[in-house]
Every structure is written in C-alpha cells, then in structure tokens.
Structure 1
Amino acid sequence: MAFVWGPLIRNHSSMVRNRPSAANLFRVFGPSKPSRFVQSCSVSNEASTPSSKLRQLLRCDDFLLMPCCYDAMSAKLIERHGFKLSFMSGFGVSALHGLPDTGLLSYGEVVSQLRFITESVHIPIIADGDTGYGNPLSVKRTVKGFANAGAAGIMLEDQVNPKRCGHTRGKSVVSREEAELRIRAAVDAREEMGHDIVIMARTDALYSHSLEEAIVRMKLFRKHGADILFMEAPSSVEQMKVFCQQVEGPKMANMVEQGTTPILPPKELAAIGYKIAAYPLTLLSASMKAMEEALVALQSGDPQKVRPLLHDFSHVCDMVGFDHYYEEEKKYAI
C-alpha cells in the first residue's frame, strides 16, 4: 500500500493543458517538495477530463490524501505540494464569505467559487454539493452545473435543507426514500449530459438515527450508482471499521481536527478499509492562525516581529502567477 502524496511535476511547460480558458495564463507550477510517501499511482496523459483523472486515482491501489481547498490559492498550494486531488470544502467556502456552514450560500455563489478553483489547477477537484439545493430536479441542475464548472466529482448528502456542518449540533436527515431520490437524480443528470462526473454520497444518519440506518443508506446509494461512500462523523474506530466492513466501494474518511471522528494516521485508515482521507479544516485553520499571529505582530509596532512570519515577496508573486504571466507576455510581445 502506497500513499499518494508526491510531486506531480517539476516544471511549468509540461503541465500546460489545452483547455480554452484565460485562466491558463495564471496557472503556476513551480518545483515541489520531495515526496514523503512512495508514489506508485500516476495519472495517464490519456485521462483528459478531470473526472477521468479522478477515476484513474480511484482505480489504483494507493491510499489518497486529500487536503481541502476553499479558493484558488489554497488549491494551487495543494497542487504545488504534490497532492493528486482536492475537495472544495463547503465549510471553507462559507468561511471565506464570513459565514458558518449552515446552508446560507446559494448554488450560484458556490459554483462561481468552484470555477475559480478548477481554472487554477490541473488536479481533479471534488466539490461539496450539500443537499443539492432543493428537490431532485435541483439536484440534477447542481450536478450538471458543477460538471460544467470543471468539477471532477460532487458530494451530495442526505441532510434536510438547510444543512449544517457534519461536526456541529442540530443535524437531521431526510427520509430514506428522499435520500435515494437525490442520488438517483444525480446519476440521471450524469447520464443525460454524457459526463463521467464522480458522485460521492454522504449520510449523516449516524447522528440522527443509528449506525445500522447509516449503513443501509450507504448500501442503497451504492446500488443507485454512487461511486464513493462517506458516512459522516463516526465517533469511534469501531464504528469506522463496521462501516468499511459492511459497505462495498471506495470510502472516504473525514479528518476534522478536534471534531467527532478519531484522527488516525493514513496507514491505519487504509488498513481499516478507507480509500481517501479528507482534511477539510486543516488549511483554513492554519491560515486563520497565521493571519492572527501576523496581526498581533503588527500591533506590537515592531517590524522585526512581522518579517519571520512572511514569505519572501518573490515567492508570493510566483504563487499568484506573475512569473508565468511574464513568460506569456514575452511570447506575445505585449
């Protein structure tokens, strides 16, 4: 068992993709850090669409580490550090708008943010589709909209609308029948548009009902065509093991620091039976902490306390795309 967490590429030019988007001018692909785990699963150049890249990763034997992004810059950092995929976190996108993850953002706001992210990176992005923003017809529109915005996959859940963060109080789920309809509608939307977008089905029934009900729902979602299964917020390793033993197909573990679920090393998650580990708050929390430390340093009035907290200006310019822009500028003699 290997862990996918190695550098994808070591130069700009070999990552340029023939995709008609102005955002290609601003993609940044600099040297990455050395691989921390053995990288045995690579994405074929023939995997031309985001979804086909994601499906190729799901077929390989490697366990997938998936830091979550919330904007284009966090996605770029994830890619630059060699991760093979990312998840656009609904919690993170809500926080970016100064809001809690309680279903306050509209479909339009989320799909707009998704487009910024997918146009900035080449790695496949799974996007948080929450409850699908309404009835089964709304779910179909959401799936099609996310696919057209470049998502490799979409996660849909069985909470009532408006939903809540899976690791906070006050959650409730729709009936089993309504939950099934959401997944059926998502699969129908995929087939109607001739797309291969990956569908991740999530249940929060463990919180509001029981482990048994959550497993029943997971099996039904798999039967209806879900590609990845996600049981939110197990509170013990034993619950995680039972879920993985009884439900077939690729499964995702949600590693929320200080959340409900035990935080396990990747090797343990893989041994239990998970395929993917998502880290939805790691980068958001780290960035908030870094900004607060910088603000405290500024308040001290001593510039020497600020400098150690910062990247070099040249690195910042490189990350936002100036170097690549200058290369393109020379090409067209602007």
Structure 2
Amino acid sequence: MAKNLTSRAANIIWKHVSDKSARLSQCRYYTAHGAKKSAALKKMLTSSNLEYIMEAHNGLSARIVEEAGFQGIWASGLAMSAQMGVRDSNEASWTQVVDILEFMSEATEIPILVDADTGYGNFNNARRLVGKLEERGVAGACFEDKLFPKTNSLHDDRHQPLADMEEFALKIKACKDSLRDPNFCIVARVEAFIAGWELEEALKRSEAYSNAGADAILMHSKKSDPSEIEAFMKAWNHKTPVVIVPTKYYTTPTQQFKDWGVSMVIWANHNIRTSVKAMQDVTAQIYKEQSLIGIEKEKKVVPVKEIFRLQNDHELVQAENKYLPK
C-alpha cells in the first residue's frame, strides 16, 4: 500500500514538473516570437508612412485580417466583449480577454495592439497584464486615461470621468519599467476630447504620458468632423507618434491624416459590425424561408471548406498521415 502511494505521489510530482516545464517552454516561445512582433509594431509606429491596423476579436477574424494584407491587428475591447455577449464596461475579465488574445496570437504572424482599457485597475494590475500579454506574443497595449470600470467612448450623453493625470502617467511608467521585451509598445490613449475638455487638457495629458515613456499617443474624438484631431496634430508638432481612430469622422479623406503627420490609423470595430449585419440578415432569411436554398444560391455564406481552410485543417491532415498508423 505504502509503495503504491509513493509511486502515485511520484507520478503526480513528475506530472507537475513536466507540465510546468512545458508551460515555461511555451512561455519562452511566445516571448521570443512576440519580440519579433513587438519590433514590427514599433517600426510601424515610428515609420514615416501612415500605417493602418484592422480590428479583430478572435482567432478567425485575426487570420482574415492578416490574409487581407494588413500588417497589424487592433484587438478591440468593444469587439471582444461584443462577441462574448457582454457590454464594453469591463464585464469581461482581463483573464478572459487574455485567453482570446492567445488564440489570436497563435493564429497570426503580424503584431497585435490590444485595447487594454484602463489596465483593469491601478498600476499593479496594468503591469501584471502587460506581463501576461508579453508571454502570449502580443506586441503592445493601449491604455486609456479614464476610470475603472471604463465606459465606451462612443456612447452618447454618458459621463466619461478622466483618471488623475499624474497617477495615469505613473501607470504608464510602471508598465514600461516592468517590460522584459524592450520593444513591447505602450500606447497612451487620451480621452480629454471624449470627456468634453478642450485642446489644452489634451496637450497637457499627452505631454505627461509621453514624458512617462509612452511609445505613442492615441488621440480620440467622437465628433463627426476631424477638427479636434487636426488642432491637436498642429499643436503637438510630432513630439511622439500619434494614433487615431476615425470611426466617427469616417468621411475625412485619408490624405488629410497623412498631411497632418498621423502615424497610425485604427479601423476599430468594422469586422464585428460586419459580422453582426451578416448574421442578422442570414438568420432572418433562414427563419423566414424555412430553407437554406436562398442563402446558398445567393452565396450569402462561404462554403464549409473555406472554414476548414481558415482553421488550417490541411496541417492536421498532413500530421495524421505522418503520425497515425495506416
């Protein structure tokens, strides 16, 4: 009996050691792989050209973004929460978000900049999150200077209280100081315009966050014209790279962003909005017609084989031929 218990205990210890070693090995892989991605993201932010990144919210949409030719991915907080069926108010925990990001990172070779909201707490929560993102090969995190839990910036007539400027700047510094990968990008998202403040406040906050080590400033606006962004760009005078999100002022010609010296444009939520529209239309049509003939004939759905392709199923077929007995 004692011998069996000893043997069982040894097996448990060995399994624990093996699992831990596997996790450490995987962590080292992600960190090394992520370093290449973070370097690519930093290069995009500092490029003399206007760069673009596209929203994705899971592994499948991330792969679609990469196949389209984009050189970077925006892991949108709105889109990730929406595909989980919850509100963009930190109702999804940071661990749930990190799980999604792991699948996105595995599915692609291009860098991911994640919408990290306010960092899910104070400086300690934010720097711990950064460490977990590094382990999973994510290239950068964008933190916004509002209070936890956050409120989506595009809500109408919703109070948008800002974080204390000094505390948020120190949060940025804490994240930078904790990095293992020096190329991991920390982007400071300034919500002054969203909260109803004037240009002076936006500039003051941007200066503080830049001095704290932010690799770029994301200047946000929900006006239907780009006047706030234009005013900021002229006053900021290229002190650090600037990222914008033209969801509301989408009619603005992209050439204007180039002329102002914007570094990066985020197409922030258009894949999740596209998928919702497509699912609503197809579901309603099937319900109404009680048949699949219409949606198949009108090519409103992709063939099942296209899903298999995006899932990289051919690799599994090759592996089965190699590793399973005939």
- What TM-score does the superposition give when structure 2 sets the normalisation length? 0.82
Given that 1:63 and 1:266 are in contact with CA atoms closer than 8 Å, whether structure 2 keeps it comes out as: no
Q: How many residues are aligned here?
A: 288
- The percent identity for this pair of structures is 24
- For 1:194 and 1:184, the matched residues in 2 are separated by 15
One-letter identity of the residue aligned with 2:175: A
1:270 paired to 2:258: yes
Q: Give the equivalent residue in structure 1 for 2:194.
A: 207
Determine if contact 2:243/2:263 at 8 Å carries over to the other structure: yes
Q: Distance in 2 between matches of 1:106 and 1:48?
A: 25
Hey, what does 1:91 align to over in structure 2? 78
In structure 2, how many angstroms separate the alpha carbons of the residues matched to 1:221 and 1:234? 21
Secondary structure at 2:71 match in 1: coil
Kindly provide the amino acid, as one letter, of the partner of residue 121 in structure 2: G
Give how far 1:330 is off. Answer: 3.4
Aligned to 1:250: 241
* Greater fraction of residues in helix: 2
* Residue in structure 1 matched with residue 167 of structure 2 by the alignment: 178
2:154 to 148, 154, 167: 167
Of residues 254, 263, 280 in structure 2, which corresponds to 1:292?
Answer: 280
1:276-331 C-alpha deviation (Å, 9 max, x unpaired): 11112110010011011111221112422111201122222111221232233334
Gaps of 5+ in 1: 1-19, 25-45
Is 1:50 aligned with 2:37?
A: yes
Counterpart amino acid of 2:260? Answer: I
Asked if the contact 1:215/1:243 (under 8 Å) is kept, the reply is yes
Letter aligned with residue 174 of structure 1: A
1:314: which partner in 2? 305
d(CA) in 2 for partners of 1:131 and 1:107?
11
Name the SS for the 1:309 alignment partner: coil
Per the TM alignment, residue 272 of structure 1 is displaced from its structure 2 partner at its CA by 2.1
Equivalences for residues 18-97 of structure 1 within 5 A? 49-97=36-84
State the Cα deviation string for residues 7-30 of structure 1 (Å, max 9, x = none). xxxxxxxxxxxxx76xx9xxxxxx
RMSD value over aligned CA atoms?
A: 2.2
Q: Which residue of 1 aligns with 2:9?
A: none
Structure 1 residues 263 and 145: CA distance shift in structure 2, 3 A: farther
Deviation of 1:56 after TM superposition, in Å, equals: 2.4
Distance 1:327 1:253 in 2: 43
Amino acid at match of 1:179: F
How do residues 107-186 of structure 1 correspond to structure 2 at under 5 angstroms? 107-168=94-155, 169-186=158-175
Contact 2:34 / 2:138 at 8 angstroms: preserved in 1? Answer: no
Paired amino acid for 1:206: F
Letter in 2 for 1:117: M
SS at match of 2:114: strand
Residue identity in the other structure for 1:305: G
Match of 1:40 in 2: none
Q: Which moved more, 1:208-217 or 1:264-273?
A: 264-273
Give the match's secondary structure for 1:115.
Answer: helix
Q: CA deviation at 1:234?
A: 4.9
Partner of 1:330: 321
Q: Specify the code of the residue in structure 1 equivalent to 2:245.
A: N
Q: Distance in 2 between matches of 1:123 and 1:282?
A: 19
Question: What SS class does the counterpart of residue 90 from structure 2 fall into?
Answer: coil
Q: Structure 2 unaligned segments of length 5 or more: list them.
A: 1-24
Is the CA contact 1:155–1:200 (under 8 Å) kept in the aligned structure 2?
yes
- The answer (yes or no) to whether the contact 2:188–2:209 under 8 Å persists in 1 is yes
CA distance in 1, matches of 2:263, 2:181: 26
Q: Does structure 2 conserve the Cα–Cα contact (< 8 Å) formed by 1:241 and 1:273?
A: no
The alpha-carbon deviation at position 205 of structure 1 amounts to 1.5
**Secondary structure of the residue that 1:130 maps to in structure 2?**
coil
Change in Cα spacing, 1:84 to 1:157, as seen in structure 2 (3 Å) is same
Name the CA distance, whole Å, in 2 between partners of 1:144 and 1:122: 20
Report the CA distance shift for 1:328/1:64 in structure 2 as closer, same or farther (over 3 A). farther
Residue 57 and residue 130 in structure 1: after superposition, are their counterparts in 2 closer, same or farther (change >3 A)?
same
Q: Could you say which structure has the larger radius of gyration?
A: 2
Q: Distance in 2 between matches of 1:301 and 1:90?
A: 35
Q: Hey, what's the Cα distance between the residues in 2 that align with 1:147 and 1:223?
A: 23
* 3-state SS, counterpart of residue 88 of structure 2: coil
Deviations 1:29-58, CA, capped at 9 Å, x for gaps: xxxxxxxxxxxxxxxxx9962111212223
